[in-house]
A = this chain, B = another copy of it.
């Protein structure tokens, strides 16, 4: 009846390894973050890292996978609370941008490290990104839109604008939430007077 308490899962350093990799890839980018940096951050020797990952690219892919998982979850959770299509899209964009700009090393890596900069992992990274973007394809598919609006371009424009914000955002000014909402507003209203 009394069961012996099983030893808690071995004090695995793999999660910390991923955390530090995410942090460094986000901070310095893929090329500038060395395997040594990552290993040192988790208190390992560089070679030890290769017990967990066969190559630096594989480490990146693992971070990407986790990044996509986390940001997907964030978007799914955020949109679940809404039923109105525009509200749902807005919630998704806000979640996306908050992960991207502030909260989440993993998610930031997904946007910051561009597939074309890592040829050996390019296709895998692209697949992961594409899978994620499908969430937005769906959110946009649900929008009631005027005839003739190309939903694909709507997605590309919206996500492009959001993702690019990593290049100009500085903590302290507008919040991610504000940014996302303003971008959406620009799409919702007509900028041409004659309408």
Contact = CB atoms under 8 A, between A and B. Distances in A.
Interface of A: 29, 31-32, 86, 114-117, 119, 143-146, 149-150, 153-154, 156-165, 167-168, 179, 182-183, 186-193, 195
The 3 residue pairs across chains A and B that have the minimum distance between CB atoms? A160-B164, A31-B31, A190-B190
A117 B186 contact: no
Contacts of A191: 143, 145-146, 149, 154, 187-188
B160 A165 contact: yes
Task: Give this chain's copy count.
Answer: 4
B29 A117 contact: yes
Given A156-B165, A160-B164, A192 B189 contact: yes
A92 B76 CA distance: 37
A119 B32 CA distance: 10
Given A161-B160, A182-B150, A32 B117 contact: yes
Contacts of A168: 156
B189 A190 contact: yes
